[in-house]
Structure formats: C-alpha cells, structure tokens
Amino acid sequence: MKWVMERDLLIAQTMAFVQAVTGKKTEADVQVEPPASLVSPVVFETLESPVEVADPPRRLPVARSPIREEIEGRVAAFRAHQQRFDRERDKHFNSVLTGIRAAITDPSRGPSP
C-alpha cells in the first residue's frame, strides 16, 4: 500500500504549505509520519507581505447597436420556431401512439387508410 503512504505524505506536505502561506492552523492538525524512504526535504518560501489580489475588471455598459438587436430578434424568432416544431412533433407522436394503443387493445380497428 505504497500509494496510501504517498497520498498521506502529499496531504501532510500540502497542509504544511497552507499553514506556511496563511500563517493559520488548519482544522485538521493530523501529522503523518512517512517512512524514511519517502521523505524528501521540502522547502517552502515565506512571503514577507500578503499578496494583493487585483480587483476583477469592471464591465462597461454595452451600447445597444441595431445589429445586436437584430441578432437577438433572430435568435428569439428561431427559438420560438423550434418550440413550435417541438409542440407539433409531440402532438403527432401522441396521436400515433394513441392509434397504436387503440389497435393493440381492439384488433378489429385496423390502421386507418
């Protein structure tokens, strides 16, 4: 079960790195003692000051152009057209299925010509 020990070593190294970077103790203070054959010296750099996180870029309001409005209109029309096809397909499927079920339950009713 060498992979289990390697996994535990990796978790321990990760926890040590997190503690070194944040300066905080983690909730799980589990120390894993790896075998001597798997131990390799790990050196973590400490930062003098916390790293500043840049603000996310602000989105500027998009000007509504006539081309954009036309594209949105075409997309909406296409979506409505597809929904109409879906409804018609479902209606046809249900009518065919109803006919098949009726023919199965009443064999005297043959398929309509």
Tens digits of per-residue pLDDT, 63-88?
Answer: 778 999 999 999 999 999 999 999 99
- Range 71-81 burial, b when 16+ CB lie within 10 A, else e: eeeeeeeeeee
How far from the centroid of its chain's Cα atoms is residue 75's Cα?
A: 25
pLDDT one-digit tens code per residue, 5-22: 888 889 999 888 888 888
pLDDT band at 98 (very low <50, low <70, confident <90, very high): very high
What's the predicted TM-score (pTM) here? 0.37
Residue extents of the structural domains in the chain: 1-48, 84-113
Name which of 16, 46, 39 is nearest 29 in CA terms. Answer: 16
How far from the centroid of its chain's Cα atoms is residue 81's Cα?
A: 29
